Amino acid sequence: MAKVGIITIQRSELNFGACLQSFALWKYITELGHDCKVIDLLRPRHAGYRTSPSFNEKDRSLRGKFRMAVRRLLRRKKAGSRLFAEKKARFARFNGLPAYTETYRSVEELYRAKPVFDVYVTGSDQVWNPDQNFIKDPYFLTFAPTGAKKLSYASSFGTGQLPEGLKPRYGAWLSDYAAISTREASGARIVEELTGKRATVVMDPVFLLPAEQWLSYAERVDGLDPGAFVFLYLLHHNEAALRYAASVAKERGFPLYFVLSEDKRVEVPDARQLLDVGPKEWLWLVANAGAFVTTSFHGLAFSLIFRGPATVLMKKGVPTNARIDDLLSAAGLQCARKDVLPDVAALSVSGGDKDRLAALIGESREYLKREI
């Protein structure tokens, strides 16, 4: 048994995919028999986060902090304070399932503490995306002792091309890894370009757990009958997606329910926004929708896990579409794309190649077993 520490996008209070992928990686490594903990490093969006001047992170002014606090308060009030509070509580309960290290309120605190593990793992989601608003150094495990064993699992750059100025730093950091795996083929190409090393392309952590296990966590949404509603999941408010989902609901004769990964209320005719849904309710909605529409990578991932039909809406020319394209290819899906707006295409997805998907998931599980 090894002591394993994971650094990833953890304790998300709004993003269902980020929350579920963090849990899945911890859960699977724990089930392998290892003593695994998620490194609880706060990010700028977390309450209690502190800046780290030694990492050239500029402290926000008191005026800036006050403005941000006011904006959050107004958004929550607009969304419905009671319902939003319930959503936050449900996320907090689910986020409490993994084992964590002590909480590090700043990057400087983490580097002073230097938590000790046998194996250090950079987890999934867009941890290596240069546009993220957090300090990147710890997500390349630069706080680990010299000579420590470092792995990555399904880490994503969120882009197909890094800025030239970042390449030397990223290359040096990645060269210190014993094994690297990425979620997208484009990420593997970046790793090879920077280091000459071959990176393994693996499935997102949510695929490490079988559908039956995910369903054991799902909780029914009161008032909804399985198979008799259309569910729309959006990362952000998107009028085009709402209009398209409304047309699907009208065609099916079903009511339309939608969820945003934002603390924002949207009034839409003939649709109901579910404001208090947590990760467990979200799993039930995806698994039990009569029709599922999404703009989200993880929405697509769970439709494949549950083997239900889904429609993925993609805005044309967006770099992050590569992660959806790679997942569709991995699942053996060649989806016809129907233009629903000049800049938006709809892809109909149903199940995929079950054997091919199972083989890729098996290879991903074996990667972790072998490398840890």
Written as six digits, the tokens of 60 are 């926000």
84: confidence class by pLDDT, cuts 50, 70, 90: confident
Q: Are residues 37 and 98 in the same domain?
A: yes
Looking at the fold, whether 112 and 256 belong to one and the same domain comes out as no
Residue 99 sits in the same domain as residue 168 = yes
Q: Please report which confidence band the pLDDT of residue 61 belongs to, taking 50, 70 and 90 as the band edges.
A: very low
Q: Which of 58-72, 80-94, 218-232, 271-285 has the lowest mean pLDDT?
A: 58-72
**pLDDT tens track for 95-110:** 999 999 999 999 999 9
What CATH number is attached to the domain comprising 271? 3.40.50
Same domain (yes/no): 158, 287:
no
Model pLDDT, residue 66: 52
Q: What is the mean pLDDT of the chain?
A: 90
Q: What is the pTM of this model?
A: 0.93
* Same-domain status, 171 and 230: no
> Same domain, yes or no, for 262 and 164?
no
Query: Do 218 and 331 fall into the same domain?
Result: yes
Whether residues 72 and 46 fall in one domain: yes
Residue 221 and residue 307 share a domain = yes
**pLDDT on residue 40:** 98
pLDDT number for residue 7 = 98
85, two tokens: 């509070």
Task: Spell out the residues 6+ positions from residue 345 whose beta carbon is closer than 8 angstroms to its own.
Answer: 313, 314, 316, 337, 338, 339
Q: What is the tally of structural domains in the chain?
A: 2
Once rounded to an integer, what is the mean pLDDT over residues 267-278? Answer: 93
b/e for 207-231, b at 16 or more Cβ within 10 A? bbbeeeebeeebeebeebeeeebbb
Question: Distance between alpha carbon 67 and the CA centroid of its chain, in Å?
Answer: 28
Identify the pLDDT of residue 28: 98
Q: What is the pLDDT of residue 197?
A: 94
- Residues 295 and 245 occupy one common structural domain: yes
With 50 as the cut, is the pLDDT of residue 208 above it? Answer: yes
Determine the Cα–Cα distance for residues 26 and 290; give it in Å rounded to an integer.
31
Using the predicted structure, report yes or no on whether residue 8 has a pLDDT greater than 70: yes
Least confident interval from 88-92, 264-268, 271-275: 264-268
Whether residue 46 is found in the same domain as residue 133:
yes
Q: Of the given ranges (10-14, 195-199, 322-326, 368-372), which has the lowest mean pLDDT?
A: 322-326
Q: Structural domain of residue 265, as residue ranges?
A: 211-353
User: Residue 363: enclosing H or E segment and its boundaries?
Assistant: helix 354-371
Apex 16 CA angle, 208 and 128, nearest 5: 70
Question: Going edge to edge, which strands form the sheet with 291-294?
Answer: 272-273, 256-260, 230-234, 291-294, 309-315, 344-350, 337-341
Do 12 and 161 fall within a single domain?
yes
